[in-house]
Structure 1
Amino acid sequence: MTDTDTPLDGPTAAPLGEGAVVVLVNPTAAHGRHRGLPEQVAQRLAATGRAVRTIETGTAAQARTVCEQAVAEGAAAIVTVGGDGTVHGVLQAVAGSATALGPVPGGTGNDFALGVGLPADTAQALETIAVALTRGRVRRLDLARMTRPDGVVRWFGTVLAAGFDAIVNDRANRMRLPRGPRRYDIAVLIELARLRPRHYTVHLDGVRHEFDAVLLALGNTAYYGGGMRICPSAEPDDGLLDLVVAGPVRRTTLVRIKPQVYRGTHVSHPQVRSYRARTVEIAAEGITGYADGERTEPLPVTVTAVPGALRLLG
Structure 2
Amino acid sequence: MKYIFIINPKAGQGKAEEDVRAALETLEEKELCELYITKQEGDAMMYITDYCKEHPEEEIRFIACGGDGTLNEVCNGAAGKENVSVTCYPCGSGNDFIKIYGGAEKFSDIGKLLNAPARKIDLLRMKDRYADNVINFGFDTTVAITINEERARTGKGNKNAYTKGVVRALMTAMKNRFTVIADGEVLNPDGKGLLCTIANGQYVGGSFRCAPKSEPDDGWIDVCLIRPISRIRFVQILDTYTNGKHLDDPKMQDIIIYRRAKSVEVKGPAGFACSLDGEIIYDRHFTVEIAPGILNFAVPE
Q: Same fold (TM over 0.5)?
A: yes
TM-score (norm 2): 0.85
Q: Does the CA contact (< 8 Å) of 1:21 and 1:50 recur in 2?
A: no
Q: Does the CA contact (< 8 Å) of 1:110 and 1:226 recur in 2?
A: yes
Where does the alignment leave 5 or more consecutive residues of structure 1 unmatched?
A: 1-17, 148-152
Q: Does the CA contact (< 8 Å) of 1:104 and 1:122 recur in 2?
A: no
In 2: Cα distance, 1:64 partner to 1:89 partner: 5
RMSD: 2.5
In 2: Cα distance, 1:177 partner to 1:86 partner: 16
1:199-257 CA distance string (max 9 Å, x none): 33222112333242111111011111113110000000110011111111001212232
How much does 1:296 deviate? Answer: 2.8
Residue aligned with 1:243, SS: strand
Q: Does the CA contact (< 8 Å) of 1:92 and 1:154 recur in 2?
A: yes
Q: Which 4+ runs in 1 deviate beyond 6 A?
A: 175-178
Q: Identify which range, 223-232 or 35-44, moves more after superposition.
A: 35-44
Return the letter of the residue paired with 2:76.
Q
Return the letter of the residue paired with 1:306.
A
Q: Name the structure 2 match of 1:289.
A: 274
Query: After the TM superposition, which residues 179-218 of structure 1 pair with which residues of structure 2 at under 5 Å, given as runs?
Result: 179=154, 180=158, 184-209=162-187, 210-211=189-190, 212-218=192-198
Q: Name the structure 1 match of 2:295.
A: 310
In 1: Cα distance, 2:19 partner to 2:75 partner: 21
Q: Does the CA contact (< 8 Å) of 1:177 and 1:183 recur in 2?
A: no
Q: Name the structure 2 match of 1:265.
A: 245
1:37-65 CA distance string (max 9 Å, x none): 22145446x62477211111131232222
Residue 280 (str. 1) matches residue 281 (str. 2): no
Change over 3 Å in CA distance of 1:131–1:30 after alignment to 2: same
How many correspondences in the alignment? 285
Return the letter of the residue paired with 1:230.
C
Q: Name the structure 1 match of 2:5.
A: 23
Residue 164 (str. 1) matches residue 139 (str. 2): yes
Q: Name the structure 2 match of 1:10.
A: none
Residue 68 (str. 1) matches residue 49 (str. 2): yes
In 2: Cα distance, 1:43 partner to 1:96 partner: 32
How much does 1:173 deviate? Answer: 4.0
Q: Name the structure 1 match of 2:68.
A: 84
In 2: Cα distance, 1:205 partner to 1:235 partner: 18
Q: Name the structure 2 match of 1:13.
A: none
Residue aligned with 1:256, SS: helix
Residue aligned with 1:78, SS: strand
Q: Does the CA contact (< 8 Å) of 1:22 and 1:70 recur in 2?
A: no
Q: 2:104 aligns with which of 112, 117, 120?
A: 120
Q: 1:222 aligns with which of 202, 209, 212?
A: 202
Q: Does the CA contact (< 8 Å) of 2:138 and 2:173 recur in 1?
A: no
How much does 1:262 deviate? Answer: 2.8
How much does 1:33 deviate? Answer: 5.4
